[in-house]
């Protein structure tokens, strides 16, 4: 009986020692990861007849630039993520606004949060992601709402303007870094053609 009690006590002590040593290693890693060189849809193009319309030129290194995202086209991220011990994951978040297609005042606007997790950075210490596919933002959404006793369907269109995009990253220890106000312009193809082709 005495040997059994010693065995149980030693098992409890060894288990406690093991878990406390694991916790100590993770507690030592307090340096947050770093995000840099973020671009959205870098060197993107659209065809307009025989004309190629270039969007988000990679040669534009102005820190105040705003990348353009075209509704219904895939959104890609280019970014560099670094950490001293190892990265875990990153996410991109944007909240596009939609308004009533007919401009009726009694129809409320809607916000459709878009949150997408990135890929291919787990356990990396320094990685630059290229063309990491995120999401397609729709240019219209259909919403069902209650109007009295009946259900009414509304078509809402994307509000074309400058939006704040959030890019956040965490490392394996749970430390995080984020860019809260990366500016992007959301617009549809027709608006881009009107602006760009009108300049040609």
Same domain, 12 and 80: no
How many domains is the chain built from? 2
Query: Do 90 and 145 belong to one domain?
Result: yes
Domain that holds residue 22: 1-30
Region 169-176: what's the mean pLDDT? 92
Same domain flag for 18 and 41:
no
Is the pLDDT reported for residue 18 higher than 80? no
Question: What is the percent of the chain with per-residue pLDDT over 90, rounded to a whole number?
Answer: 30
Whether 178 and 32 have beta carbons less than 8 Å apart is answered as no
Q: Is 149 helix (H, G, I), strand (E, B) or coil?
A: coil
Do 4 and 73 reside in the same domain of the chain? no
Q: Domain check: are 145 and 119 in the same one?
A: yes
Distance CA 35, CA 171 (A): 11
The pLDDT tens digits for 99-141 are 887 777 666 777 888 899 888 899 999 999 988 889 899 998 8
How many helical (H) and strand (E) elements, i.e. helices and strands, does the chain have? 2, 14
User: 113: Cβ–Cβ under 8 A, 6 or more apart, which residues?
Assistant: 93, 94, 95
Mark whether 86 and 129 lie in a shared domain. Answer: yes
3-state secondary structure of 96: coil
């Amino acid at each position: 009986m005495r040997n059994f009690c010693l065995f149980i006590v030693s098992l409890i002590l060894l288990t406690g020692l093991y878990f406390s040593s694991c916790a100590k290693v993770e507690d030592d890693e307090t340096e947050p990861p770093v995000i840099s060189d973020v671009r959205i849809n870098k060197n993107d193009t659209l065809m307009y007849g025989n004309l190629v319309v270039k969007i988000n030129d990679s040669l534009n290194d102005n820190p105040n630039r705003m990348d353009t995202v075209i509704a219904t086209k895939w959104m890609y991220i280019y970014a560099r993520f670094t950490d001293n011990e190892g990265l875990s994951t990153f996410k991109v978040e944007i909240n596009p606004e939609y308004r009533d297609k007919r401009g009726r005042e009694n129809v409320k606007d809607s916000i459709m949060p878009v949150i997408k997790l990135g890929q291919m950075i787990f356990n990396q210490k320094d990685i630059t992601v290229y063309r990491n596919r995120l999401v397609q933002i729709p240019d219209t959404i259909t919403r069902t709402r209650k109007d009295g006793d009946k259900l009414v369907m509304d078509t809402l269109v994307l509000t074309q303007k400058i939006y704040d995009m959030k890019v956040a990253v965490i490392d394996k220890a749970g430390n995080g870094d984020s860019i809260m106000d990366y500016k992007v312009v959301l617009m549809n193809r027709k608006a881009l053609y009107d602006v760009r082709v009108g300049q040609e």
